[in-house]
Each structure stands twice: as C-alpha cells, then as structure tokens.
Amino acid sequence: MNLIILFFLFISTNAFLFKTPSRVTMSLNSNEPPESWKSLSKNFKTLARNWFISRAENVGIDWNGLVNENKRNMLRLKELYNSSIDNNIIYPNYYTQAFHGYDSGNLNWDASLECEAATLSIAINYWKETNPIVVQDWLRYNVSNNIQNYIQESSPYLSDNINNIVDLGCSVGISTEFLYRTFKTAKNIKGIDLSPFFIAMARLRSEKYKFPITYIHKNVEDMDNIENESQELVVCNFIMHELPESATINIINEAYRILKPGGIFAIVDITPNIVNNNLIINNFKKLAFEVTEPHIYGYYERDLLKLLKQSNFYNVECIKNDPINSIWLGAKLENIFTEYDYYNADFEDNYIDIVESTNENNKYANL
C-alpha cells in the first residue's frame, strides 16, 4: 500500500517539484532547502522512511531486532551521551531541520538507535539477492582499497606512515571501524560528529568491540581541537549530500588545515549524476530518497572536484567506488622537505636498530 501511495505521490508532484527552474538555484546558494521540498517532506517524510524500513526488512535486515538490541543498552548510552556532549556547541540551522524522516534530524535517540540498520541497508539494491552484510563489507572495503591505491600513487611514502586518521561525520562509528580495520598501523584514529546521540552510540560500539578509537562531539566545520598539519588521512563518509554549499566549503578547508603536507583527503558519497539522472534508480526510489534530504538538489549541482582544487588540493580525482557512489580524492600541497622528512625518519629508526644490534653483537663477541 505504501508503494502505491508513493507512486501516486510522485505522479502528482512531479510537475511542480522537478520542473521548477528556481529549485536548484535556491538550494545551491542557500542554507535553506526550496519551499517545494519543505512542503513535500512535511507531508510524506514518514511514509518514505517507513518504505525504507520495509525495503530493508524484505531483504533480511532485522531492523526492529537491531533497534531493540541497542535499546537494551540505553542506560549506558545515556551515560556516554552525558560524558560526550559539548554543551557549548551552537548547531547550524541546516542541522536542526527535519531530514532522514526525523523531525529533529540526527539530534534524537531514534536516529542513533536505528542507524546501524539504516547503514546496513545502504547498498542492499546494488547487487540483487546478496547478503546485506557481504554487500556492506564489499562497499566499505572497496572505499579503503581505493584510498590505499590513491595514496600509493599520490604520496607513496605515506603508505606505511599513516598514524593519524580523522573520520568526519562519523555517525555511529561504522565507517571509522572500517578505517581501523584497514589502516592497521594507525596509532590515533578519531571519529567526529555533530550528533551527541551518534557519538554515544559510536562509543558504545567501541566498548563492545574493543576498538581503540576516540569519538568527539564537534562541528567538523570548525575543529579547533585538532592541530594544524597533524593528520595523514582525513575521510568524509556520506555527509556531503546532506549539506549546503557553505558548510561543504568549510569542511574542505578544515580538512586541508589539519592535514600534513602530502596528506590525503577522501570524500565518499553518492555520484550526483547517477541519482539525479535516474541512471540506476527509478523515479519512484529517487523521490523516496529526496523527500528526506533537504540539500540534495544543491548537491546534484555541486562540483566537488572544483571545490577541492579551490582549497589548494592537488592530484584531485574522482573514482567510481560502486554502482551508486564515488570517492573524490585530493592531496595537500607538499613542501620540498615532506618526502625527505618521512624517509629520513625511517632511516633514523633503522639506524638506531642497526647500532643497537651491533653493540649487542660486540658485547657477546668480547666474552
């Protein structure tokens, strides 16, 4: 029944929503979504959200089971929430409006409790009749592999020297966990998100699975808690399509600031033309997605390659990750000593090992 209602909803709204000339311009240059979106979302966001839940359950995701499992940890979650929240944060307007089918966006427990199931359902239609866990693992590890390949080509001396990683907009920590599994030599991995509810859940998962990951409640547009040129890798997973352009630019500039020379920035998100031009999904699924995403129209028109170049990233490129998503990659401009510093550090470590080994051998030789 929900599918039928949404189908007729699409037919009735297609004319005024998708053919309004000012739609893209309004959303691209403003922190507010177009009025047509507000009207449509207000009336049909819950219906669209329920359809996404039904779609997930139909392929075997135990949505309610995962949510109830998280609810059993509410006492601990509230403790983690209270110890994580930064009460000095002023939330930007774009973050406090309704999106993803929740009236308060990500600033509520429902969004946090359901996030694991929702994340697992992201790629369920990429490959038919495939276990959702297998699909998620493929998608996430392919992100990691593409980043590793780019590092090898762009900054090869970083391959074995990635010690500091920041995951921007980490949600409940699933993307951060995959980074931890991939970059095993990293000593300092942080996840940052603007939702204290998400951070509480991320910390709970970290406790449960023994992940040595630090999670911080912060606006990634202004990360004054992270020093300049302190990170080798900064990753941003599936949040750019949720942002107005001003926030997008601020985040890109912050990523550049905290990266070491030669460091890598990776943006993972949906490929705009694939979704906007219905190259993979049909109009019905596109509408169900769009009524929960207030800034999606601006994202369709946004040129992330151009924005990365304007922020002084070089070797900028976009790589297709899977049927729906891409990765935009850029490296921070290096100074003439960057590569020398990394190789010299390796030489000094090896030199110390050689000296210590030689001294040890000489000690036994003199016995």
Q: Each residue of 208-266: pLDDT tens digit?
A: 999 999 999 999 999 999 999 999 999 999 999 999 999 999 999 999 999 999 999 99
Find tokens 């997605």 and name the residue: 289
Tell me if 172 sits within 8 A of 67, measured CB to CB.
Answer: no
For residue 198, pLDDT beyond 90: yes
Four-point Cα dihedral 172, 177, 179, 185, nearest 10:
140
pLDDT tens string 96-107: 988 888 889 999
Rounded CA separation 199/57 (Å): 26
User: What element of type H or E holds 326?
Assistant: strand 325-332
Q: What is the pLDDT of residue 24?
A: 42
Domain ranges of the chain: 2-334
* Percent of the chain whose predicted confidence (pLDDT) is above 70: 78
Q: Is the dihedral of CA 318, 321, 323, 326 positive or negative?
A: negative
pTM for this entry: 0.84
Amino acid at 104: S
How many Å is the maximal CA-CA distance in the chain? Answer: 93
Which residues, at least 6 apart from 232, have a Cβ–Cβ distance to it below 8 Å?
Answer: 158, 161, 162, 163, 164, 165, 259, 260, 263, 264
CATH number at 2-334: 3.40.50.150
The residue assigned the tokens 């739609």 is 23
CA distance 18 to 16: 6
Give which of 135, 103, 108 is closest to 119, Cα–Cα. Answer: 135
How many whole angstroms separate alpha carbon 278 and alpha carbon 23?
Answer: 18
Task: Report how far Cα 313 is from the mean position of its chain's Cα atoms.
Answer: 19
Contact 95, 107 (CB under 8 A): yes
